[in-house]
Amino acid sequence: MIKQFLSLEWKQFFRASYFQKGLVVKIFLILGALYFGGIALLLGGGMFFLIKKEIPEVDPVILINNYIIYWFLFEILIRYFMQQLPVMNVKPLMVIPIKRNTVIHYLLGKTTLSFFNFLSLFVFLPFSVVLLAKGYPVLNVVCWFFSIILITLSINFLNFLINKSNTVFYIAATLLLALIGLEYFEIFKASEPIGLAFNTLYSQPYLALIPLLSLMFLYNLNFKFIKNGFYLDDAVTKKIKSVEATDLSWFDRFGAIAPFLKNDIKLIWRNARPKQALMMSFVFLFYGLIFYTQDTYREMPAMLAFASMFITGGFLMTFGQLVPSWDSEYYKMLMSQNIPYRQYLESKWYLMVVAVGISFILSIPYLYFGWKIFGMIAAGALFNIGLNSFITLFGGALNRMPVELNTKAKAFGNTNGFNPTQLLIGLPKFLLPMGLFYIPYKLVNFETGIIVLGLSGVLGVVFKNFFLRKIENVYQKGKYKTIAAFGEKK
């Protein structure tokens, strides 16, 4: 049966419409995986010698064990935002004689093939080989290495639960923030007892049973979680909800794009995932506190430009990057109407412009850090309106991952709709404002950098029709591929 599942997955991968859209992107992702995998191998192989050179009086194993908790915290963070959870279209399988347990075991087994699981293998396998070559006890090193891999797999299944359950997410986030806060304010250094625990794990090989039992526990927990909802009735039953009507007649003044604006406002107001994106965009307003309060970053003006763009660009980064995926559940119906694509795209642009304007008004308290900083924020807002908004809309043409609007069972909605392609598309959003500011800054002065960054946004607004026309052509060419991709069940 597993062989049949693999055959179905293979056919779905090559026959799906979204396979055609990003062959170049897939090649870049493979090259990126090879690049970071190679760096991990070099890091693992050279870690022992680097520690011996810099801190010769400390045993490298002890030092690694003392700080390995930060590696695992980094894993949890990067997995939550980047790891795509494997899914299957299980509805057809529910009506044929296949055991539910077999399907669930296969689904969970797919999670072990994540690149993030291999990353730990690439780092700690060469490090363990070096330890064995240097004469460290074989049993201790081997058991310690397998313990690290078992913990990595445990984090893999923990991430599955975090992404599937709000309760698990809030518990994990609270514990993580509490530990970081206690460590930062030197109230309680959690890294010390954790480091002691890992050193004990190395010195007592039989303790490798603890990570093994932890992995088994989390696997069974995931198994039960999925099995509890693995019923055809749950899959096909629609929940009826009462919707409170809202008067949005004042949007009529926007003319032909008014229906789209009303639709987006209702979408954000009535659905869980868009609401969470809106709340997250508010968090971006505080991004400047990380940079403007540190003297180190004040000496790195390019990073200040990066932060200034983020302060007013939260809505673009959270909501805007998933255009048109927000409309995936009714996109076929939307495109069957006699609606010009231009109106659809222009409504999204105005929505982002209004969001940037509101964020800029809310950023006025940053005047506390001086007129130069606030001027940079204003220039970043202009860049977001005039250039970043169009880059975001263009990126949407390449993003054909559907979004489930109401997914209360998952922390911060659903991670669907997010894929690594967005990271490649997002590079100009981060690098362009830094370059537009930094080059004039180095050639002339700080104020010139701000002016150039702001003028780039003004020019974007002046050539709005040109950009929208080009973006419209891209959407038109991929219209039917997008409809087909949104119609597929991931």
Q: What is the pLDDT of residue 334?
A: 80
In the numeric block, which tokens belong to residue 271? 């659905």
pLDDT higher than 50, residue 372: yes
pLDDT higher than 70, residue 460: yes
Q: CA 123 to CA 138: how far, in whole Å? A: 18
DSSP label at residue 86: P
Taking residues 227-238, report their average pLDDT.
60
Round the average pLDDT of the chain to a whole number and report it: 79
Q: Which of 249-253, 317-321, 346-350, 425-429 has the highest mean pLDDT?
A: 346-350
Instruction: Residue 316: name the closest of 392, 405, 263 by CA.
Output: 392
Q: What is the pLDDT of residue 28?
A: 63
Q: What is the pLDDT of residue 8?
A: 65
Among the residue ranges 250-264, 311-325, 359-373, the one predicted with the least confidence is: 250-264
pLDDT higher than 90, residue 18: no
Q: Tokens 């003028």 sit at which residue?
A: 455
Tell me how many degrees the CA angle 229-232-233 measures, rounded to the nearest 5: 85
- Give me the amino acid identity at 47: M
- Please report, to the nearest 10 degrees, the dihedral formed by the alpha carbons of residues 324, 328, 333, 336 taken in order: 40
pLDDT digit string, tens, across residues 389-418 = 898 888 887 777 777 776 543 433 344 444
CA distances from 407 to 147, 330, 331 (A): 35, 16, 19
Q: CA 166 to CA 408: how far, in whole Å? A: 8
Q: Where are the domains of the chain?
A: 2-236, 250-487
pLDDT higher than 70, residue 382: yes
Q: CA 307 to CA 470: how far, in whole Å? A: 29
pTM of the model: 0.59
Q: CA 192 to CA 177: how far, in whole Å? A: 17
| Residue 83, C-beta contacts closer than 8 angstroms, at least 6 positions apart | 114, 116, 156, 159, 415
User: How would residue 476 be classed by pLDDT, with cut points 50, 70 and 90?
Assistant: confident
Instruction: Residue 395: name the closest of 420, 414, 421 by CA.
Output: 421
C-alpha atoms less than 13 angstroms from C-alpha of 252 in its C-beta half-sphere? 4
pLDDT higher than 60, residue 434: yes
pLDDT higher than 70, residue 15: no
Q: CA 5 to CA 317: how far, in whole Å? A: 36
Percent of the chain exceeding pLDDT 90 equals 12
pLDDT higher than 90, residue 73: no
Q: What is the pLDDT of residue 236?
A: 44
Q: CA 291 to CA 308: how far, in whole Å? A: 9
Among the residue ranges 149-158, 184-193, 242-251, 327-336, the one predicted with the least confidence is: 242-251
